[in-house]
Amino acid sequence: MPLNLPRLVKPVKKLRKLLRKIDSDPRPDQVHDLRTNIRRFEAACEALVLEDAGVPKSVFRELDSLRKRAGKVRDMDVLTEFASAIRPKDEPECHVRLLEHLGARRQKEAAKLCAAVRRHRRKMRKKLGRAFSRITSLVREKGTAAVRSAAANATAAASRLSAELAVPTQLNKTNLHPYRLKVKELQNILLMAEAPSRPRFVEDLGDVKDAIGEWHDWEELVEIGSEVLDHDGKCFLRAELKRIAERKYEHSLGLAHKLIRSYLPTSQPKKKNATPAGVPRAPVLEAIAQLAG
Instruction: Residue 231: give its domain's CATH number.
Output: 1.40.20
What average pLDDT is seen over the chain?
A: 86
According to the model, what pLDDT value does residue 1 have?
Answer: 45
Give 194-221 pLDDT, tens digit per residue.
777 788 999 999 999 999 999 999 999 9
Peptide bond into 168 cis (omega under 30): yes
What is the pLDDT averaged over residues 54-80?
Answer: 89
Terminal-to-terminal C-alpha distance of the chain: 7
Give 118-171 pLDDT, tens digit per residue.
998 998 898 888 888 877 776 676 556 766 777 788 889 899 999 889 876 689
Q: What percent of the chain has pLDDT over 90?
A: 49
pLDDT of residue 277 exceeding 70: no
Q: Name the band, by pLDDT with cuts 50, 70 and 90, for residue 276.
A: very low
**Domain of residue 274, residue span:** 5-292
Q: How far is CA 211 from CA 32, 70, 150, 183, 202, in A?
A: 17, 21, 31, 11, 15
- DSSP character for 24? S
According to the model, what pLDDT value does residue 79 have?
Answer: 97
Q: Which amino acid is at 283?
A: P
Q: What is the pTM of this model?
A: 0.85
Q: Name the band, by pLDDT with cuts 50, 70 and 90, for residue 37.
A: very high
Query: Under DSSP, is residue 3 helix (H, G, I), strand (E, B) or coil?
Result: strand
Please give the tally of structural domains in the chain: 1
pLDDT of residue 110 exceeding 50: yes
Helix ranges (H only) for 22-91 are 28-48, 57-85
Under 8 Å between Cβ of 215 and 248: yes
